[in-house]
Amino acid sequence: MKAEIEVLQPGLFSTIQDPGRNGFLKYGVPMSGVMDLYAAQMANLILRNSPNSAVLEITQMGPKLKFSDPAKISICGALLSPKINNFKIGNNRVYKIEAGDELSFGKRQLGCRAYLAISGGFKTEKILKSRSWFEGITDNFKLNKNMKLPYESTNESKIETNASIKFTSEYLVTSEIGVFPGPEFYLLTEGEQEILRSRNFSIDKNNNRMAIQLQEIMGNTLKPIITGPVLPGSVQLTPSGKLIVLMRDCQTTGGYPRVMQLSETGMNKIAQKIMGDSVSFAFLESPHL
């Protein structure tokens, strides 16, 4: 009998994700994948999984899950007060799960998204070379009550750790987001460029896996552009002067000027922000930073 996790309570918004669906943008298929690649890969590496193994991405309020068979798990990213059978556990270490154990989450303490990795990775269906859930591509697009998630059971009792792996949590609290100039950045006036370099912006209530809108309005003297390619991390400036940061489930083309492009680290940082959090943009000179 295959091992399964039963979803007792789905939480706010949880999805199965891996590094993403690469190579299909030309067909209009979003990349998807984990919002915070760093936390997801660290959760896998702590378990000695492949960094490409599928994980459960948990947003703000976590689910309650029941395991049918033994396993090993780790959690990285946001601090969401996890418990095994009502006993508090921490992030960034390996825990042994026994058959019948229940994993739950409590009060959010820091960050927005936590990543649950399981030994061997989640074994949900792979579509277009990825297990990442996306509405219209996969049968499921979020966790629902009574859903069953397959995994490979392990009876290994030894908890192995890797001292060379250390999770750095400082990025959960920093407000500085690394960016590069976008294709239309230098069409902005010097004053508009300076606003992007110096002003603090706040995360709007309109934020999800597709895009994060920022609350503040800035001037916009740019004319509309012909629809062009966009990527996760592209920052669009709307005619009203609002900034929209495209995230992992974003569309593949857009008609708003692309004034900035977030670095990969910047993507991880902004993925951990919630409504009302403040961010500022630090322009990077090298793509290697």
Does the structure show a pLDDT above 80 at 161? no
- Residue extents of the structural domains in the chain: 3-155+162-169, 174-283
CATH, range 174-283: 2.40.100.10
Q: pLDDT digit string (tens) for 225-244?
A: 888 899 999 999 999 999 99
Is residue 99 within 8 Å of 68, Cβ to Cβ?
yes
- 82 φ, ψ (degrees, to nearest 5): -75, 150
Integer Cα distance of 8 and 152 in angstroms: 20
pLDDT tens column, 27-37: 999 999 999 99
pLDDT value of position 1: 60
167: confidence class by pLDDT, cuts 50, 70, 90? confident
pLDDT at 223: 83
| % the chain with pLDDT above 70 | 95
Length of the chain: 289
**SS3 of the chain: helix, strand, coil, percent, to 5:** 10, 35, 50
Distance of alpha carbon 255 from alpha carbon 269, whole angstroms: 26
Q: What pLDDT is attached to residue 159? A: 60
Q: What pLDDT shows up at residue 216?
A: 97
pTM: 0.94
Angle between helices 264-271 and 37-46 (to 10 degrees): 90
User: Mean pLDDT for the chain?
Assistant: 93
Per-residue pLDDT tens digits for 91-148 = 999 999 999 999 999 999 999 999 999 999 999 999 999 999 999 999 999 999 999 9
- Could you give the percent of the chain with pLDDT greater than 90? 87
Give which of 107, 138, 141, 104 is closest to 8, Cα–Cα: 104
Q: What is the pLDDT of residue 162?
A: 54
What is the token pair recorded at 233? Answer: 């991390």
Tens of pLDDT, residue by residue over 240-288, are: 999 999 999 999 999 999 999 999 999 999 999 999 999 999 999 754 4
Residue in the block written with tokens 């996969």: 138
Q: Is the pLDDT of residue 189 over 70?
A: yes
